[in-house]
Structure formats: structure tokens, C-alpha cells
């Protein structure tokens, strides 16, 4: 009987891999980019239903939490049925969710449609796409992840004024209906996802532990990195949601704010001091540079922590753990805003959460140094070597 090699599948790092990258770029934009640009809808929905800041923010937080919680399910389904089918179905789900949400008569209906159903569809599109991207690129993986994640920023830049224009022309309901049609492009992205060569694909399934690899809980570095994700998520999503209403409270027009929405803000602790458009633009630009770098490399680091062969399972599990931060971040910020009657307090909360998340990265770095010291190796490519040696011991 012929023995099948279970060696590492060769990543093309070019050729059709660039189409996978294009798909990931658009998926990033039509998922997290839409979430970042949703601040344009926030003010209209907040006024229409006459609810609190925290109450309105649950729409976004439920969507973000759904992405993270459903991520392991998306990983399992893509392993079983293939990335292409899962992404196409996910695109249909989020498109229908947003379209149906445009007819909502209560906030609860918006939570279920634009929140949960939309987030569920996002998970089915984003998770398999990023997993496949990691398999198509190896030497150029950091660059590929950076280019893919830039879709979030670029689409946020485009969608924010577009949403405002659609809201002004057709109301928030009409704009949501059009957004639902726009998200059908996620199905096109799914059609671009072609699995690796058949031989490399039977190997791939053998390498990915069945569905979700819960043994990752025993990986200390992975768990520390996941805690970074929890606190980072607390601070990532609130600024984009509250930047537009904060600008309105300062008397700044929405269209002047187009550039600052994409840049988001990391000097969040100083952002409440801004009282003019120019000051908001400066603070947001500074944060945007750091945030863009963070988004670009965090998936690459995850692959180095656990190994690329466990990336699909680890990405889903990481998103599941991080879900608590995405779920409670905007409502917590909204709670402080309601109590203090000042949108600036939401930025303070986000800034503190991001600083705490950085502490876990420092802890992870320290763990890697100690691990290398024990092994008596030179501290180069620490995460890769540590994860590789750990994996060898498991097998």
C-alpha cells in the first residue's frame, strides 16, 4: 500500500494566491469595514427609536460577538464542506439579515437581524477566507495579511460617506436595504476561493485536528495571546461607533468627518480633548497608523504562536475567546456615555482597555524569552520555533 506523506503543503505564495488575497481584501471591507462605518447609522437609529447610547450600541456589539462566537463553527464547516460553499452561504445570510433589518419596528428586531444574523453571516465569510489566505501564503504571509486587512480601512473610508449620502437620500431604512444588496458581493468573493491542489488539500484535512482543536487551551502562549484579544476588542470597536455622534455633539458636520472615521483614533485617552475637526483628524490619524499595523500583524502572530497547520482551528477558537470583548465593549462605553452625558468617556474606556491588552503582549514576549532561555537557543523567530517544538512534542 502506498504511503501518503503528511508533510507540510507548499504554499504557492503567488499565482492564484493573489486572487485569494483580493477576495480577503473585499471580505475585510464588507465585514469589519461595514462595522466601522456603521456610526453613520447610529445617530439616525438612536434618534428614531429614542433609545440610550448603550441600547443603540448593542446592534454593533451583538454583530461583533456573533462573528467571534460563530468563528469555530465556521472553521468546522469550512473543513467539512470547503471554504467556498461556507463563504457563499455566509454572504447570503448577512445580506438577508441586513435587508430584513431595514423593516425593523423595534430595537429587538434590529438586534436579531442587523446584529446577530448579520454577524453570523460575517463569521461564515471572514473566518474561512482568512484561514485559506494563511494557507496560500507562507513567505509573504505578513504582507498578504497587511494587504487584506487594508480592505477594512479603505472600504471604511468609502462606505462612511456613502452611507451618509444614502441615509440623507433614502433614510436609514433605505440605506440598510441597499447595504443588504451590496453585501451580496461576499458571495462573489466566495466563488474566488479555490482550494489548494487536491493532494495538498487530503494532507490539509489530516493536519487540521477534527473541527475545533480544544487542546489549544493547554497552550499557555495561545491563552495569553487570547487575553490580549479580549481586552483589545473592548477598545477596538467603540471608537468607530461613537466618533460620528461625538463629532455631532461638538458641532462638526458628518461629511467633514469622512477622513477621521477611517483613521479611528489610538490616542483615545487624549481624544476627548478635541473640540474641532482639525484636532479630531490629528488624533484619529495617529491612532489609525497604530491600529492599521496591529490589525495587519495579529493574524500573522497567531500563526506563529500555534503553527500554520493549526491556524484554522486556532483562529476560530481565538475569535470565540475574544467575543466577550467585542460583545461588551460598545455597551460599556455607551453606559459611561449615558452616565456622564459625554461621548468622550467612551474613548477613555477604549483607551484603557487597549493599554491593558498591551500588558498581555508584554507577558507573551516574556514567556517566549524564558522558553528560549530554557532551550538554550538564540532569540530569533521565537514564536515560530517555540510553537514548532511544542507541536513536535505533541506528535
CATH top class, domain 17-378: mainly alpha
| Per-residue pLDDT in tens (0 to 9) along the chain, 395 residues | 444 444 445 667 778 889 999 999 999 999 988 988 888 898 889 889 988 877 888 898 899 888 878 888 888 888 888 889 999 999 999 999 999 999 999 999 999 999 999 999 999 999 899 888 888 887 887 788 778 887 887 888 788 889 989 999 999 999 999 999 999 999 999 999 988 765 444 644 544 444 456 677 777 887 887 787 777 776 666 666 666 666 666 665 544 633 433 344 444 555 556 667 777 677 666 666 666 556 555 666 676 777 666 766 677 677 777 777 767 777 777 787 788 777 777 777 777 777 777 777 778 777 777 777 766 554 444 444 444 444 444 44
Domain boundaries of the chain, sorted by first residue: 17-378
C-alpha 294/C-alpha 153 separation (Å) is 12
Only one residue has cell 502506498, namely 2
Amino acid at each position: 500500500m502506498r504511503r501518503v506523506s503528511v508533510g507540510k503543503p507548499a504554499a504557492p505564495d503567488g499565482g492564484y494566491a493573489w486572487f485569494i488575497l483580493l477576495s480577503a481584501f473585499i471580505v475585510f471591507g464588507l465585514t469589519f469595514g461595514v462595522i466601522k462605518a456603521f456610526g453613520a447609522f447610529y445617530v439616525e437609529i438612536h434618534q428614531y427609536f429614542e433609545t440610550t447610547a448603550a441600547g443603540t450600541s448593542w446592534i454593533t456589539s451583538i454583530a461583533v460577538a456573533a462573528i467571534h462566537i460563530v468563528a469555530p463553527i465556521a472553521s468546522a464547516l469550512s473543513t467539512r464542506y470547503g471554504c467556498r460553499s461556507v463563504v457563499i452561504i455566509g454572504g447570503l445570510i448577512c445580506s438577508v439579515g441586513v435587508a430584513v433589518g431595514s423593516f425593523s419596528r423595534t430595537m429587538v428586531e434590529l438586534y436579531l437581524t442587523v446584529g446577530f444574523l448579520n454577524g453570523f453571516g460575517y463569521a461564515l465569510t471572514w473566518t474561512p477566507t482568512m484561514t485559506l489566505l494563511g494557507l496560500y501564503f507562507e513567505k509573504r504571509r505578513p504582507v498578504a495579511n497587511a494587504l487584506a486587512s487594508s480592505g477594512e480601512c479603505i472600504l471604511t473610508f468609502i462606505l462612511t460617506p456613502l452611507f451618509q449620502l444614502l441615509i440623507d437620500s433614502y433614510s436609514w431604512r433605505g440605506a440598510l436595504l441597499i447595504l443588504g444588496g451590496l453585501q451580496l458581493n461576499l458571495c462573489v468573493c466566495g466563488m474566488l476561493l479555490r482550494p489548494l491542489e487536491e493532494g495538498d488539500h487530503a494532507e490539509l484535512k489530516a493536519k487540521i485536528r477534527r473541527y475545533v482543536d480544544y487542546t489549544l487551551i493547554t497552550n499557555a502562549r495561545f491563552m495569553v495571546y487570547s487575553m490580549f484579544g479580549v481586552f483589545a476588542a473592548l477598545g477596538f470597536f467603540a471608537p468607530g461607533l461613537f466618533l460620528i455622534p461625538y463629532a455631532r455633539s461638538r458641532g462638526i458636520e458628518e461629511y467633514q468627518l469622512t477622513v477621521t472615521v477611517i483613521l479611528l483614533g489610538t490616542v483615545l485617552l487624549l481624544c476627548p480633548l478635541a473640540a474641532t475637526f482639525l484636532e479630531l483628524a490629528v488624533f484619529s490619524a495617529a491612532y489609525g497608523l497604530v491600529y492599521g499595523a496591529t490589525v495587519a500583524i495579529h493574524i500573522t502572530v497567531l500563526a506563529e504562536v500555534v503553527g500554520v497547520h493549526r491556524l484554522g482551528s486556532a483562529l476560530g477558537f481565538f475569535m470565540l475567546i475574544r467575543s466577550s470583548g467585542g460583545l461588551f465593549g460598545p455597551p460599556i462605553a455607551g453606559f459611561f456615555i449615558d452616565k456622564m452625558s459625554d461621548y468622550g468617556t467612551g474613548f477613555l474606556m477604549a483607551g484603557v482597555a487597549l493599554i491593558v491588552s498591551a500588558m498581555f503582549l508584554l507577558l507573551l514576549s516574556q514567556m517566549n524569552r524564558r522558553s528560549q532561555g530554557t532551550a538554550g537557543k538564540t532569540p530569533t523567530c521565537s514564536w515560530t520555533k517555540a510553537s514548532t517544538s511544542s507541536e513536535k512534542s505533541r506528535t
